[in-house]
Amino acid sequence: MGTVPVTTVRMAGRRPRRARFLPWAPLVTLVVMLGPVLAGILGTLAPAFGYMPALQGTGLSLGPLRALLEWPGLWRAVMLSLGVGLGATAISLAIVTLICAGWAGTRSFTMIERLLSPLLSVPHAAAAFGLAFLIAPSGWLSRGLSTWATGWTRPPDLLILQDPAGLSLIFGLVTKEVPFLLLMTLAALTQVRPASSLRVAQCLGYARITGWLKTVFPLVYRQIRLPVFAVLAFSMSVVDVAIILGPNTPPTLAVQVVRWMNDPDLALRFQAAAGAVLQLGLVLFGIGVWRLIEIAAGRLGKIWVSTGGRGWRGLDQVIRGAALILGATAALAVIAGLAGQVIWSFAGLWQFPDLLPDGFTWRNWHRYGTQLAGPAGETLIIAGAATGLALLLTLACLEAEHRHGLRPATRALWLLYLPLIVPQVAFLTGFQTLSIGAGLDGGRMAVIAAHLVFVLPYVFLSLADPWRAWDAKHDTTARALGAGPDRVLWMVRLPMLLRPVLIATAVGFAVSVGQYLPTLLVGAGRVPTLTTEAVALASGGDRRVTGVYALAQTAAALAPFALALVLPRLLWRNRKGLLHA
């Protein structure tokens, strides 16, 4: 993807007519995905330098930047964003790596695989609400221990949630990023054939984890690097989770930017724009830091591999166990949080230190459940359309790459990152202004277009690597048997890659379901989805309502993941080889 087809490579004179769109697919995809981002950044940069005619800002000035620098919490907010981003990413990657190293190919691993999709489909906000209730000093864990173990009749005044160092926030992000990275790693693993490498390493006397890290990890990391960057950028600029679990004195930079954006004092819009630009720079800086860590780790790794140490089996077992416990903690936290939401959605009065509510009632579901239908339908239409378009464009790009040799330059690949790296706050407000000018705002189509910006890269990221890693020998064989490129695509490649395709679809769907800011801003608040309704109602703070909406939201994202796991098993019941092709 990414290069303009200056000279189209012709396929041995038998290019089918229908495929004429293909050479243009990369360009169309880029425009659809990056057009809004770039236009939005322009729309944000202008006020960051003082230009916003509606607010009497008609000249260029450094005033907004100066005001930003004078905000007393800036340094702490910046450090917090950076620390949370790097911390959450490093911890998530470590857990995922060690789980795969210690358990890939075992029966426990199959179980972990099954758990993944439900975990991944829990929208971030829903997971964060669940977690908050779990770990608060008056939360479920504390209630479980009171009063028999702790003697607490009133909760202790402990700074667990919203701690100034952002530890709760990191924990919350890790619980959601571990499943995401694990899924990406799984998709990559199917291409790397880790079993044979590991067997060789073990024959040479390497302990399991040591052998995996030395032989498989370098291959896998190359394939999951894009998702890792996405995780880093996301963790640094996330808004909804940071509002729920993160500190407020000060909050992370992204949250503060949204606050300025929402401040009644309109002059703060300029400062907010400057902050959004800083957030963009901060994310780029964070990625630079990560890159340096990568290089250092690569050098050290080479030395480590060449020393030929076989690893110590005892330590290996300890690490294996620890990895599983860490992974399980992350998973259990989300599941228990979700269970908490289920109970809240049926709860009557529920006070500390009661482990369960005084009474259960259908009232909450009666009252709010009936209002779910409209937003649920809207959510499904938008997610379906955005994901369908994203999948079509992605497949067209990848196929164009394959058939016409339109291989992207490595540098062009960075373009794909833009929507994931550019923090939402940095371009959405600019984009909002522009889409109003173009008469596109306030409609479902505009929201789908905005969602596509975020869905496309995720779909592309999750599909590109498995697609490219597909063994071209299959193509050669099929072509030798007389099949045209279309037939190869439909009869050989897509069936063999069904699992990655379905996973990509599910990821795209979940991404769309979870979008808050784009839906709200571009939809002019007139396109209510489960997420926008949930966040609006959650501002009221009643866990009963939040529970109802969070569960509906989770269900909307869960279904495609269930299909992505179940469908290949059903379809390839008699061709098990394809499951791990």
Q: Say if residues 328 and 116 touch (Cβ distance below 8 Å).
A: no
Query: Which of 129/206 has CB closer to another protein?
Result: 129
CB of 164 to another protein, least distance (A): 6
Give the torsion through C-alpha atoms of 560, 565, 567, 568, to 10 deg.
140
Instruction: Name residues whose C-beta falls within 8 Å of residue 233's C-beta, 6 or more positions apart in sequence.
Output: 85, 283, 286, 287, 417, 420, 421, 423
CB of 206 to another protein, least distance (A): 48
The token pair at 556 is 């909307």
Considering only residues 278-337, where is the footprint of another protein by CB under 8 A?
none
Distances (CA, A) of 500 to 176, 406, 581: 20, 22, 11
| Cα 212 to Cα 97: distance, rounded to the nearest angstrom | 9
CB of 158 to another protein, least distance (A): 8
Binder to another protein among 235, 433, 519, 554 (CB under 8 A)? 433
Considering only residues 253-272, where is the footprint of another protein by CB under 8 A?
259, 261-266, 269
Query: Which of 539/574 has CB closer to another protein?
Result: 539
Q: 561-578 b/e with 16+ CB inside 10 Å = b?
A: bebbbeebeeebeeeeee
| Stretch of residues binding another protein (CB under 8 A), selected from 193-201, 224-232, 318-326, 425-433 | 425-433
- Cis ω on the peptide bond leading into residue 264 (within 30° of 0)? no
Q: Name the DSSP letter for residue 7.
A: S
Question: Number of C-alpha atoms within 13 angstroms, CB side, residue 156?
Answer: 15
Beta bridge partners of 52: 57
**Residue bearing tokens 């000249």:** 59
CB of 449 to another protein, least distance (A): 7
CB of 156 to another protein, least distance (A): 9
Considering only residues 527-546, where is the footprint of another protein by CB under 8 A?
528, 532-533, 535-545
Q: Draw the binding track, 447-476, toward another protein (x: CB under 8 A; -: no contact).
A: --x---------------------------
Considering only residues 383-422, where is the footprint of another protein by CB under 8 A?
none
| Stretch of residues binding another protein (CB under 8 A), selected from 2-10, 111-119, 435-443, 467-475 | 435-443
Strand spans (E) along 472-578: none
| Cα 234 to Cα 215: distance, rounded to the nearest angstrom | 29
Instruction: Name residues whose C-beta falls within 8 Å of residue 411's C-beta, 6 or more positions apart in sequence.
Output: none
What is the identity of the amino acid at 436?
I
* 3-state SS, one letter per residue, for 209-240: HHHHHHHCHHHHHHHHHHHHHHHHHHHHHCCH
The token pair at 404 is 């016409």
CB of 439 to another protein, least distance (A): 7
Beta bridge partners of 256: none
| Stretch of residues binding another protein (CB under 8 A), selected from 70-78, 276-284, 331-339, 470-478 | 70-78
Instruction: Name residues whose C-beta falls within 8 Å of residue 297's C-beta, 6 or more positions apart in sequence.
Output: none
Query: Which of 350/572 has CB closer to another protein?
Result: 350
| Cα 268 to Cα 280: distance, rounded to the nearest angstrom | 18
- Cis ω on the peptide bond leading into residue 147 (within 30° of 0)? yes
The three-point CA angle 90-96-101 to 5° equals: 120
Q: Does 368 bind another protein (CB under 8 A)?
A: yes
Considering only residues 511-530, where is the footprint of another protein by CB under 8 A?
520, 524-526, 528
CB of 130 to another protein, least distance (A): 15
- Cis ω on the peptide bond leading into residue 353 (within 30° of 0)? yes
| Cα 303 to Cα 250: distance, rounded to the nearest angstrom | 42
Query: Which of 157/303 has CB closer to another protein?
Result: 157
| Stretch of residues binding another protein (CB under 8 A), selected from 162-170, 192-200, 329-337, 405-413 | 162-170
Binder to another protein among 243, 283, 287, 391 (CB under 8 A)? 243
Q: Does 138 bind another protein (CB under 8 A)?
A: yes
Binding residues with another protein: total (CB under 8 A): 85
Q: Does 432 bind another protein (CB under 8 A)?
A: yes
| Stretch of residues binding another protein (CB under 8 A), selected from 114-122, 341-349, 456-464, 477-485 | 341-349
CB of 250 to another protein, least distance (A): 4
Query: Which of 31/297 has CB closer to another protein?
Result: 31
Query: Which of 230/434 has CB closer to another protein?
Result: 434
Q: Does 435 bind another protein (CB under 8 A)?
A: yes
Considering only residues 6-65, where is the footprint of another protein by CB under 8 A?
28, 31-32, 35-36, 39, 42-43, 46, 52-56, 58
CB of 520 to another protein, least distance (A): 7
Q: Does 76 bind another protein (CB under 8 A)?
A: yes
Binder to another protein among 348, 374, 377, 405 (CB under 8 A)? 348
Q: Name the DSSP letter for residue 534.
A: H
| Stretch of residues binding another protein (CB under 8 A), selected from 134-142, 218-226, 304-312, 480-488 | 134-142
Q: Say if residues 404 and 9 touch (Cβ distance below 8 Å).
A: yes
Binder to another protein among 250, 327, 337, 500 (CB under 8 A)? 250
Binder to another protein among 72, 151, 314, 577 (CB under 8 A)? 72
The token pair at 222 is 């190359």
